[in-house]
Amino acid sequence: MSTQAFNPYLPGHEYIPDGEPHVFDGRVYVYGSHDRFAAPMFCMNDYVCWSAPVDDLGNWKYEGVIYRKNQDPKNRLGLRLLFAPDVARGMDGRFYLYYAFDFMGIMGVAVSDYPAGPYTFYGHVHYKDETLWGRKKGDSFPFDPGVLVDDDGKVYLYSGFYTPVPAIVTGGKRLKFDGGYVLELEQDMVTIKTPEKLLFPKQGPGSFENHEFFEASSIRKYGGKYYFVYSSRHNHELCYAVSDYPNKAFSFGGTLVSNGDVFLDGIADEQHARNFTGNNHGGMLELDGNYYIFYHRHTFRNSYARQACAEKLVRNSDGSFAQAEMTSCGLNDGPLSGIGRYEARIACNLWGKDGTGRYDVKHADRKYEAYPYFTQDKKDGDETAVQYVANMRDGATAGFKYFRLDAPRHVVVDVRGTASGHMKVSADETGGKILARIPLRLDGKKREDCMADMNFISGDAPLYFTYEGEGAIDFFAFELKN
């Protein structure tokens, strides 16, 4: 690893949720939806791709736009949105991009000779009689594709959505919303070979109690076993199921990650989590025996500006995976350096004095305008945009994990606001292990660097920055100095 890797692992101006990582020819390619900052809806931008060398996951390259909404003949005006995609290499060596147009209820396919495209329209998933999947009576709702080309060349397509969509939206067809489905495609990658099969019921017999299927199908094959990753009805978590077969006999494995660390370390609910929660979607990646889970976090007080994150997974002796915690260094090879300047946007934990919650679920006792949040200072797509933590009021905390803290003797915070108080820096989330108190007297006119001595601490540790005082601050960065 020649470059330190952070979470989110892409630049602050980029909003890629639903990330599916795949290794092709020595590089990791991430395919996801493409949110627009400050937009009123999910996935309003065209598909782009980012890639990194398998041995340098802090060095991501922008591959550009790989597929545009209006390339599909059923969306020439570009009004339909491109939801979560997946990509697979066919037996012919070409790369196939699968996507669903928002809630239209059909599945599109594009193709390219290269993993980073550009992709051209190829067709819609259909039956042998040319009827589109999603347009026959009794079809399930095509949504969130996960694609696997197995070692024997068989092609499996996974799909499913929990919440029924009105027939008026799906072309007048009343489709099934019973859980997660699988079907087999022909070698042409677009024609249905075997009928769809309900694989992951959302309720009743065969469902995974308390972690029932909701959406976000993702499939991998490692060591002869099939790993299916999905978002449960809790929505903030990614779970997995495992089987010796691609189309039957899956057993529940557990939670891989929650974008609020819910279910980890005794955290029981979204209103007292380590981060503000929302929907989640991602996939697994295996590199030289190391496993990672890719997922996304939420910004701008809503679910429409999500960013790509990833965490390393711990594999237990029985082959199962433990739930990963959210960190600021997920793809890094260990903790971050204890010396250096770090953007506040890499905070993996963020909460207010009264806890957290979901921005897309309004609670009577949660006034989210009083809570901290991630935002940026310029419009969507501007590569010079600066992302930061806004609106830190009394008791608000931004947490960062983990750092090697043998060297720093001073800490500097880059802040702005109208405020009188101090920034408490601690090495535990309760705020009890205090390392520094940085006085803040801000008049709201400009960003200021404020510094304090830092108590020595040896070893690897998190850092929590808690504002205590009057007014509110915007938190841009901090620096650890010797």
Q: For residue range 34-82, what is the model confidence (pLDDT) as tens digits?
A: 999 999 999 999 999 999 999 999 999 999 999 999 999 999 999 999 9
pLDDT at 407: 82
Query: By the 8 A CB rule, do 29 and 116 touch?
Result: yes
Q: 235-274, pLDDT tens digit by residue?
A: 999 999 999 999 999 999 999 999 999 999 999 999 999 9
Q: Which sign does the torsion angle of CA 391, 396, 402, 405 carry?
A: positive
Last residue of a domain, one of 298, 313, 328: 313
pLDDT at 361: 75
Rounded Cα gap, residues 422 and 429, in angstroms: 17
Same domain? For 296 and 362 the reply is no
Rounded Cα gap, residues 328 and 340, in angstroms: 14
Same domain? For 67 and 170 the reply is yes
Same domain? For 305 and 376 the reply is no
Query: By the 8 A CB rule, do 49 and 117 touch?
Result: yes
Same domain? For 286 and 352 the reply is no
Same domain? For 307 and 454 the reply is no
Tokens 């960065």 locate to 477
Q: 359-382, pLDDT tens digit by residue?
A: 777 776 777 788 999 999 999 999
Same domain? For 62 and 166 the reply is yes
Instruction: Return mean pLDDT, the chain.
Output: 96
CA distances from 94 to 87, 188, 218, 285, 369 (A): 10, 11, 20, 21, 48
Neighbouring residues of 93: CB distance < 8 A, sequence distance ≥ 6: 113
Mean pLDDT of the region 442-453: 94
Same domain? For 69 and 185 the reply is yes
Query: By the 8 A CB rule, do 20 and 85 touch?
Result: yes
Rounded Cα gap, residues 403 and 478, in angstroms: 13
Residue 277, token pair as written in the block: 């929660």
Q: 162-189, pLDDT tens digit by residue?
A: 999 998 888 888 999 999 999 999 999 9
- Per-residue pLDDT for 229 more than 70? yes
Residue 161 lies in a domain: yes
pLDDT at 368: 77
**Domain around 445:** 340-481
Task: Calculate what percentage of the chain has a pLDDT beyond 70.
Answer: 99
Last residue of a domain, one of 278, 313, 348: 313
Q: 184-222, pLDDT tens digit by residue?
A: 999 999 999 999 999 999 999 999 999 999 999 999 999
Residue 319 lies in a domain: no
Half-sphere exposure of 210 (CA within 13 A, CB side): 5
- Per-residue pLDDT for 1 more than 70? no
Confidence of residue 290 (pLDDT cuts 50, 70, 90): very high
Structurally, how many domains does the chain consist of?
2
Residue 320 lies in a domain: no
Same domain? For 349 and 260 the reply is no
CATH number for the domain that contains residue 444: 2.60.120.260
Confidence of residue 97 (pLDDT cuts 50, 70, 90): very high
Same domain? For 289 and 364 the reply is no
Residue 334 lies in a domain: no
Strand order in the sheet with 213-222: 213-222, 225-232, 237-243, 251-258
CATH number for the domain that contains residue 199: 2.115.10.20
Rounded Cα gap, residues 109 and 173, in angstroms: 21
Active site residues: 18, 215
Rounded Cα gap, residues 4 and 332, in angstroms: 6
Residue 7 lies in a domain: no
**137 vs 365, higher pLDDT:** 137
Note the Cα 456 to chain centre separation in Å: 35
Residue 42 lies in a domain: yes
Same domain? For 306 and 426 the reply is no
Residue 323 lies in a domain: no
Residue 324 lies in a domain: no
Q: Phi/psi at 24 (nearest 5 deg)?
A: -130, 120
Same domain? For 262 and 356 the reply is no
Mean pLDDT of the region 285-307: 96
Same domain? For 278 and 371 the reply is no
